[in-house]
Chain A
Amino acid sequence: MDTNLALLLLLSPFVGFLFNIFFGKKVSKGISGAIGTLTVVVSFLLSICFFAQLNQNGKPFEISLFDWIQVSNFKLDFGILLDQLSLLWLLFVTGIGSLIHLYSISYMHDDENMHKFFAYLNLFVFFMITLVVGNNLLVMFIGWEGVGLCSYLLIGFWYKNQPYNDAAKKAFIMNRIGDLGFLIGMFIIAALFSTLNYAEIKSAVTAGDANSALLGLAALCLFIGACGKSAQLPLYTWLPDAMAGPTPVSALIHAATMVTAGIFMVTRMNFLFDLTPDVQNIIAIVGAITALVAASIGLLQNDIKKVLAYSTVSQLGLMFLALGLGAYTVAVFHVITHAFFKACLFLGSGSVIHGLHGEQDMRKMGGLRKAMPITFWTMMISTLAIAGIFPFAGFWSKDEILMVAFGHNKALWIVASIASIMTAFYMFRLMYLTFFREFRGTEEQKHHLHESPKLITIPLVILAVLAVIGGAINLPGSMWLNHFLEPVLAAKHEAHHLGTQEFILMGIALVGAIVGIIWANAKYIKQGFVPKEDAEIVGFSKTIYNKYYVDEFYTFLIVKPLNGLSNFFRTTLEPALGKVVYGFGTVANGIGSQGKKLQNGNIGLYLFVFVLGICAIITYLFIAQ
């Protein structure tokens, strides 16, 4: 029975996908959307069932569906593992997924390809579930690549726009760089332990009979995979571009779920990373730098979704910081709270964009508070959460990260704190520019300003509520999440005892956040500053505004040489190689042409050669010794 339910949990969104791809066009948009949503809701409900079951008996549920890949030294089956970690992920993936599906029914209603949108969205949920529930790395890899594919499809959803397609392609390829790392990591693990099954790897690793250098390499490779998927330095540039997709996509895939896959994977393989402290250090440093760099870019962005995108990168950086410091639960905690408020923020921004008929530039917004109160308030709550204001969810999770960082390395703590301050600043900058002061758009837009319909606001409200109370799952003191996840985490982490130091740190964080808010307030409310037009931005601001020219740098360093090489190969080397082959023919033909001159029709010459031949042969045979 459980097997069937688990299968249903997995396949329900897939059914939705099949329905929408084959029949979506024939049924009305409402039905298409409803079925898409329902299938995800089914998964959500089943997740709750399993979650309840797990809470009751505490035993993870693992089944093997069928034999899959077999290589020389091991055999993999297609198995499902529902343990604490995967169920936790399932809950918020399907939960938030359901909300976003619901939201999309209204948001995408005007799009002619809505059924496809839902199909892709369902497919995404399916793959995300696969990623989460697999009982071995290879099944995770299916989901891993699958979500990448859906991300590609959804970013390029408006396929008539080639820049959007470029963004989609970029996302896919960047992800694939990470995927290669993932693959190599898997190969090393498979070679070392002859298995890819989590439980078996875990027992093998803890037995401790592996070459630690190779193990480190494996961990590093897996981390590269995580970097690609979770948009860490140096592979983060695809995520801001991915905002080309419809806003629900950004909310679901590029904020709440897919990008956290890297964190999921690292958490999943925590026993491996625990044995490789060097790699952990690298993860922590990469996370911290990513958090800072992304936050700093976010400071000056004018596209509402870009700001949120950099914010996401930055927050993901913080999570990796936590992972690198071995605080897996903290990271997971932040993943969950982040999912709530970031989804809410994205959906809110979507609501704004929807209200403004596609306008995304904050310079052309302003004063929307009145027109869109629900949107404003839900977004405000989420902003407070992300800024880390007590007692919103973000405060708790972010604070724990800072505390862990402080405990390990002060420098990392400082970096993370600065990133947090920046976060507070740019988020409020976003809020001020969007909702405060007067409207800066066209008259026509102003005329049409309105609150979004119910289907959009209900998910917003639910997510806002979660953003407020989400911190409850791991409040200092109860530490429910810590306890819940204990079975899947190899090493036990000491629970934080709330001491003076912790309170001081909390205070500092809170003060920092408030400083950021005040700074933003001063600049954008008091001074009424509106960001300048693109052309007028100069100096270091320009560097930041242009994202430190990282994209250009990549283009210059990789894309251009690759294309140049390709052109060189195509136009020079290929014909040259071809000519080498033809060369034999040309030489033979050339000799033939010369030979024709010898065959000049002169019988005297023929006889002459004849006699010479005789002389040569006889000399060779009878005189030469």
Chain B
Amino acid sequence: MDVTTLLILLLIGAVATLVSGDKLASKVALLFSLVAFGLSINLLLQFNQGTDIGFVSNWIANPKVALALKADGLSMAMVLLTTALTPLIILSSFGNSFNNSKNFYALVLFMAFAMVGTFLAADGLLYYIFWELALIPIYFIALIWGNGDVDERKKAVVKFFIYTLAGSLFMLVGFAYLYSKAGSFLLEDLYKLELSHCEQFWIFFAFFLAYAIKIPIIPFHTWQAKVYQKAPTVGTMLLSGIMLKMGLFSVIRWQLPIAPDAAKEYMPILIGLSIAGVIYGSIVALRQKDLKKLLAYSSLAHVGLIAAGCYTLTVDGLNGAVYQMIAHGFVIVGLFFAAEVIFRRFETRKIDELGGIRSQASGFTSMFMILVLASVALPGTYNFVGEFTVLYSLSQVNIWFAVIGGTTIILGAYYMLKMFQNVMLGETNTKVFKDVNVSEAIVFVAIIGFLLFFGLYPKPINDLVNPAIKEILAVINR
């Protein structure tokens, strides 16, 4: 068994969901996503036993493109993140009803398929194809099932699509150039390339544009908040939980090893930009009036830190970035879900209009609280492990990076707690807030359980990721 089974399963899942009809769609999708999760666990076990679960086959002769899927610690970690979050995300949507839900869930599964493909692909063009494929479902999910005014949503979503596409097309040019040099798109061949200084510069920034927009790093983030706000929460979760990580993952997998000299040369600027994103995102989040927008900006701040970790080019930086990706993936999904839970009951996301929920729903409050705390990286949560490692790596580069980047723990606490206070605390709200039901609780508990468990015992993830990162670093320092 190799990783293709996972991809095929997800694709079959998407098709099965499509044909299952509107009533069954959500359940079928959940079933398939759970099976996919089980399968990926199984794959992980195999991988840990040392079995090669990668896959290589020729696809196109000219240009030479191979169906190459590589499973190393890094990609397995990201695949597991995807397959673990997908059932949660699907389950989280059980409280909503969608028109044409068969299309909706099929798109969700299809997106999971594309994202898993992106994480696994070891051939540049295949990777690019998956990368773009992931964009289409989210476009339709956000466009058709989104909320708010249609025209505004349209504007935001189209901007998002064009903007991210614009970035990735430059990456495509980069790949085309690399292909002309290497004669192949295979990762290993690209790693072997000896590019001149100037070439590295252009390749690096072609890739950077794609990733900076996707991640997003300021000032390329302008699409983010609006789309998060307008997309249905499932879409927001997919975007923030997994899709952003595609960009960060790609930085580690593709950008840095292919153009290491450029990465080294521009490291201070890149880290500076990323950290500026941390501060900027945090400050903008302070005064947000919309819950989802606030979370979007918090996400901007967090991924800025992750990106900074990636660009440190140290073991800790890359490791920490991966940890933080996973941690952030879970926590942001949880937070957006909390926002959705509130919306289901109060039909608003305006922070001003909320408040006084705690006295009515203590269970929800506790879970929300834990998620808030995890997002501000309280020790004991997995986010702390990630943030600690990343900040540590920054301190190795320059202690001031760590100091400035570290302000996230202050500002983050500030805006998150402020939000929590305004949303949850205060006099009992006049509207009735029912505490979470079973399916909602499962989602929260799963996320919280994950974050707390690995917060105290991060070793398994560490052992999984570390060898792969070391390999990549060896390529970077070749």
Q: Are B406 and A569 in contact (CB under 8 A)?
A: no
Residues of B within 8 A of A574 (CB): 222, 225, 284
Q: Are A176 and B409 in contact (CB under 8 A)?
A: yes
Q: Are A566 and B409 in contact (CB under 8 A)?
A: no
**A451 to nearest B CB, angstroms?**
33
Residues of B within 8 A of A152 (CB): 417
Known: A78-B456, A187-B399. A570 touches B287 (CB 8 A): yes
16 residue pairs from A and B, CB less than 8 Å apart = A66-B457, A68-B459, A70-B459, A70-B462, A72-B319, A159-B424, A160-B426, A162-B426, A169-B421, A180-B410, A183-B406, A563-B286, A565-B283, A566-B284, A569-B280, A578-B226
Q: Digit string of B393-409 for contact with A (CB within 8 Å is 1, else 0)?
A: 10110010011001101
Report the bound CA distance from A585 to B163 in whole Å: 11
Q: Digit string of B438-473 for contact with A (CB within 8 Å is 1, else 0)?
A: 000000000000000000111100100010000000
Known: A66-B457, A142-B380, A563-B286. A176 touches B413 (CB 8 A): yes
**A181 to nearest B CB, angstroms?**
9
Interface residues of B in 364-409 (CB under 8 A from A): 366, 373, 376, 378-380, 385, 388-389, 391-393, 395-396, 399, 402-403, 406-407, 409
Interface residues of A in 577-625 (CB under 8 A from B): 577-578, 580-582, 585
Report the bound CA distance from A190 to B388 in whole Å: 12
Report the bound CA distance from A578 to B320 in whole Å: 31
Report the bound CA distance from A578 to B406 in whole Å: 27
Residues of B within 8 A of A141 (CB): 379
**A150 to nearest B CB, angstroms?**
11
Q: Are A160 and B366 in contact (CB under 8 A)?
A: no
Interface residues of A in 243-276 (CB under 8 A from B): none
**B420 to nearest A CB, angstroms?**
9
Residues of B within 8 A of A581 (CB): 159, 163, 222-223
Q: Which secondary structure dominates chain A's binding surface?
A: helix
Q: Are B425 and A165 in contact (CB under 8 A)?
A: yes
Q: Are A566 and B287 in contact (CB under 8 A)?
A: yes
A146 at the interface (CB under 8 A from B): yes
B237 at the interface (CB under 8 A from A): no
Q: In the complex, which of the residues B406, B427, B458 has the most CB atoms of chain A within 10 Å of its own CB atom?
A: B406
Q: Are A187 and B395 in contact (CB under 8 A)?
A: yes
Residues of B within 8 A of A479 (CB): none
Instruction: Output the nearest chain A residue to B317 by Cβ-Cβ distance.
Output: A72
> Pick the contact of B426 from A144, A165, A577 — CB < 8 Å?
A165
Q: Assuming A70-B462, A159-B426, A184-B406, what are 13 further A-B pairs, CB within 8 angstroms?
A: A146-B380, A162-B421, A162-B425, A165-B425, A169-B414, A176-B376, A176-B409, A183-B409, A184-B399, A577-B222, A578-B226, A581-B222, A581-B223
**A76 to nearest B CB, angstroms?**
10
Report the bound CA distance from A187 to B426 in whole Å: 39
Residues of B within 8 A of A145 (CB): 378-380
Using a CB–CB cutoff of 8 Å, the interface residues on chain A facing chain B are 21, 66-72, 78, 116, 138, 141-142, 144-146, 149, 152, 156, 159-160, 162, 165-166, 169, 172-173, 176-177, 179-180, 183-184, 187-188, 190-191, 217, 562-563, 565-567, 569-570, 574, 577-578, 580-582, 585
> Pick the contact of A173 from B288, B392, B406, B413 — CB < 8 Å?
B413
Instruction: Output the nearest chain A residue to B288 by Cβ-Cβ distance.
Output: A570
B72 at the interface (CB under 8 A from A): no
Give 7 nearest A-B pairs by CB, closest first: A187-B395, A566-B286, A142-B379, A566-B287, A72-B315, A578-B222, A159-B425
Number of A-B contacts (CB under 8 A): 139
> Pick the contact of A183 from B222, B314, B358, B391 — CB < 8 Å?
B391
Q: Are B403 and A567 in contact (CB under 8 A)?
A: no
Known: A160-B428, A179-B409. A69 touches B385 (CB 8 A): yes
Q: Which secondary structure dominates chain B's binding surface?
A: helix
Q: Are B395 and A191 in contact (CB under 8 A)?
A: yes
Q: Are A69 and B458 in contact (CB under 8 A)?
A: yes
Report the bound CA distance from A117 to B6 in whole Å: 48
> Pick the contact of A177 from B399, B410, B425 — CB < 8 Å?
B410
Report the bound CA distance from A615 to B223 in whole Å: 46
Report the bound CA distance from A179 to B379 in whole Å: 11
Residues of A within 8 A of B123 (CB): none
Residues of B within 8 A of A72 (CB): 314-316, 319
**B222 to nearest A CB, angstroms?**
4
Interface residues of B in 59-87 (CB under 8 A from A): none
Residues of B within 8 A of A585 (CB): 162
Residues of A within 8 A of B163 (CB): 581
Report the bound CA distance from A142 to B378 in whole Å: 8
Residues of A within 8 A of B226 (CB): 578
Residues of B within 8 A of A177 (CB): 410
Instruction: Output the nearest chain B residue to A156 by Cβ-Cβ distance.
Output: B425
Q: Are B456 and A68 in contact (CB under 8 A)?
A: yes
> Pick the contact of B413 from A166, A172, A567 — CB < 8 Å?
A172
Q: Are B425 and A71 in contact (CB under 8 A)?
A: no
> Pick the contact of B427 from A146, A160, A183, A582 — CB < 8 Å?
A160
B183 at the interface (CB under 8 A from A): no
Q: Are A180 and B378 in contact (CB under 8 A)?
A: no
**A234 to nearest B CB, angstroms?**
14
**A167 to nearest B CB, angstroms?**
11
**B381 to nearest A CB, angstroms?**
10
Q: Are B222 and A180 in contact (CB under 8 A)?
A: no
B219 at the interface (CB under 8 A from A): yes
Residues of B within 8 A of A149 (CB): 373, 378
Q: Are B417 and A169 in contact (CB under 8 A)?
A: yes
Report the bound CA distance from A166 to B462 in whole Å: 38
Q: Are B283 and A562 in contact (CB under 8 A)?
A: yes
B356 at the interface (CB under 8 A from A): yes
B147 at the interface (CB under 8 A from A): no
Residues of A within 8 A of B280 (CB): 569
Report the bound CA distance from A166 to B421 in whole Å: 8
**A447 to nearest B CB, angstroms?**
30
Report the bound CA distance from A70 to B359 in whole Å: 41
Residues of A within 8 A of B418 (CB): 169
Interface residues of B in 295-353 (CB under 8 A from A): 314-316, 319-320
> Pick the contact of A180 from B221, B399, B407 — CB < 8 Å?
B407
Report the bound CA distance from A160 to B359 in whole Å: 8
Q: Are B395 and A188 in contact (CB under 8 A)?
A: yes
Q: In the complex, which of the residues B366, B376, B389, B399 has the most CB atoms of chain A within 10 Å of its own CB atom?
A: B399
Report the bound CA distance from A172 to B218 in whole Å: 28
Q: Are B392 and A71 in contact (CB under 8 A)?
A: yes
Q: Are A191 and B396 in contact (CB under 8 A)?
A: yes
Q: Are B410 and A173 in contact (CB under 8 A)?
A: yes
Q: In the complex, which of the residues B225, B413, B418, B428 has the most CB atoms of chain A within 10 Å of its own CB atom?
A: B413
> Pick the contact of A570 from B284, B379, B424 — CB < 8 Å?
B284
Report the bound CA distance from A176 to B410 in whole Å: 5
Q: Are B402 and A184 in contact (CB under 8 A)?
A: yes
> Pick the contact of B391 from A144, A172, A187 — CB < 8 Å?
A187
Q: Are B459 and A67 in contact (CB under 8 A)?
A: yes
Instruction: Output the nearest chain B residue to A166 by Cβ-Cβ distance.
Output: B421
Report the bound CA distance from A217 to B400 in whole Å: 12
